[in-house]
A and B are shown apart, each in its own frame.
Chain A
């Protein structure tokens, strides 16, 4: 059964005055019921793409269809089918949480009584029932994101767009948002999210599109992307003795990689199961091991392989 496309993008381009091509020919397709993550560093074109897909920005080239409607010629219909939670959780500090959700509902043409009912249900769902009567100005960052998410859902959208939904949140709040997004997806909502966090893409997404400098450099499920890069590698810290000798010993199990911080790096051709044998071999050669770390390939490794740069400046998430 062919999957219905929730999002179809062909050759999408956006050029800004001055010749800056923020989005330079993006093709992608998101099936209904999928969670698709756009992963890339700042300035890669993630937000610009989302703005075009949510009808906030007109493409300068290419085309896109969301929920079966063209984003330019059928913008009104697109807006009725999508829910949007953008980067800045832009909320009016003078309104209460409840008022905000009700306003959003009214803007979607939902009648008063229905709006109130749905608003309460959603506030309850994201855990803001108690705070609903307080002004948004007093909410914490995590609360604002949750309210933003709730108000994006008030009209039961088919496709949900989340632009960096957990940037700046503490780990607990972040997990909460992930759980909520997963639950929504289980209920059938298609989710398109952008992120610069590897773990977020890895954990949440069915498929990941890695974007750099306005174009997609790799696309696939997190597992397949990492498998493309290949095997895990071992980082061996020695007590003393030369790294070269250790590397010689390990050569039987894999390909030595350029050393880093005095550690021997070894790509394990046989996979993680060979770790025990490496340790035994080093032991037999009389080389004392101080530390041993098995590093699985990450999406960052995929990014590095495709672009030569890291997504994040330092490991985080």
Chain B
């Protein structure tokens, strides 16, 4: 091994970048695969919320304005998106921990491009978001949630993954800004508020006051409605789907850009 002729300094091409993303995703999977019970809080929280909300507010469907009398079918997409939000926030908390413990420096000092490092975190979050979502569906079907049809199910899962990615961008952004696990509540409450200030509890007509206004402009409302179609109507139509996909793309672009900016500013500290 000589230093006079160093390892061929190959440019990090697309395939190289993909390989890095794959390796980073695999590393973050360790936490679930190797720490028994690590996934439980992330799965338990949205499920309890789902069952609890249903038990407590289930009779809201008696009000006119609801197109279904199955509250569980109405709110299951909310819980799935909450699970995605929680997963993404956890990505931010893990990053904050990695920053505090110096592991992140190792990644930053390597030639892996900043966008690739971010992609690794975001992709792993969107995949992990499927875990609570799947568990919720299992529990949901047991208590009588409508079968959404194959298309409806697929759409819901895609929207869950997209929301997980958005939540990860948010979590990463906060982690890079505060560089401390103490910022965890900010990551979690941000997503909490985003998901619940939509048509979460009731259709738009039945929301009152400030929440109605916010739900109207909250882009995640479109995602909720798109995900909800299958469970309420048993089928999906394009006209109700594309606003959700567009909203997802829009939020991902904005939050992704902000997170990337944060990544580039890591050398300011």
Contact = CB atoms under 8 A, between A and B. Distances in A.
A80 B7 CA distance: 9
B112 A156 contact: no
B30 A95 contact: yes
Interface in B21-65: 23-24, 27, 30-31, 34-35
Contacts of A294: none
Contacts of B16: 109
Interface stretch (A183-191, A198-206, A222-230, A266-274): A183-191
Nearest to A57: B267
Which of the four size classes fits the interface of chain A? Answer: 35 or more
A103 interface: yes
Interface string A75-91: 11101111010111011
A157 interface: yes
Contact of B9 (A75, A80, A103, A151): A80
Contact of B267 (A55, A77, A90): A55
A98 interface: no
Contacts of A129: none
A103 B23 contact: yes
B112 A107 contact: yes
Given A90-B103, A92-B27, A95-B27, A107 B110 contact: yes
Given A156-B7, A158-B6, A108 B105 contact: no
A95 B34 CA distance: 9
B102 A107 contact: no
B102 A76 contact: no
A157 B5 CA distance: 10
A189 B4 CA distance: 8
Interface in B222-266: 266
A156 B3 contact: yes
Contact of A79 (B35, B110, B266): B110
B142 to A, nearest CB: 33
Contact of A90 (B31, B35, B101): B101
B2 interface: yes
B185 interface: no
A146 interface: no
A29 interface: no
Contact of B6 (A56, A92, A107, A157): A157
B109 A79 contact: yes
A55 B34 CA distance: 33
A112 B15 CA distance: 12
Nearest to A188: B3
B186 interface: no
A188 B4 contact: yes
Contacts of B4: 188
B209 interface: no
A44 B222 CA distance: 55
A86 to B, nearest CB: 6
B183 interface: no
A219 interface: no
Contacts of B113: 76
Contact of B106 (A32, A104, A135, A158): A104
Nearest to B38: A94
Interface string A153-194: 001111100000000000000000000000000011110000
A58 B268 contact: yes
Contacts of B109: 54-56, 79, 82, 84, 86
A110 interface: yes
Contacts of B103: 90-92
A83 to B, nearest CB: 9
Determine which residue in B1, B35, B102, B266 has the highest number of CB atoms from chain A within 10 A of its CB, and name it.
B1
Interface string B92-112: 000000000111111111111
A298 interface: no
A5 interface: no
Determine which residue in B105, B268, B269 has the highest number of CB atoms from chain A within 10 A of its CB, and name it.
B105
A197 to B, nearest CB: 21
Contacts of A188: 1-4
28 contacts: A55-B109, A55-B267, A76-B111, A79-B111, A81-B6, A82-B109, A86-B105, A90-B102, A90-B104, A90-B106, A91-B103, A94-B34, A95-B30, A99-B27, A103-B23, A103-B24, A106-B20, A107-B23, A108-B110, A109-B16, A109-B20, A111-B19, A135-B34, A157-B3, A157-B6, A187-B2, A188-B1, A189-B3
Interface of A: 32-33, 54-58, 75-77, 79-82, 84, 86-88, 90-92, 94-95, 99, 102-104, 106-112, 135, 151, 155-159, 187-190
Which 8 A-B pairs have CB atoms at the shortest separation, nearest pair first? A90-B102, A188-B3, A107-B110, A88-B102, A106-B23, A79-B111, A107-B112, A90-B103
Given A106-B20, A156-B3, 18 more contacts: A54-B109, A56-B267, A57-B269, A75-B267, A77-B9, A79-B109, A79-B111, A84-B106, A90-B101, A94-B35, A103-B23, A103-B24, A104-B106, A107-B20, A107-B107, A109-B12, A111-B19, A189-B3
Interface of B: 1-4, 6-7, 9-10, 12, 16, 19-20, 23-24, 27, 30-31, 34-35, 101-113, 266-269
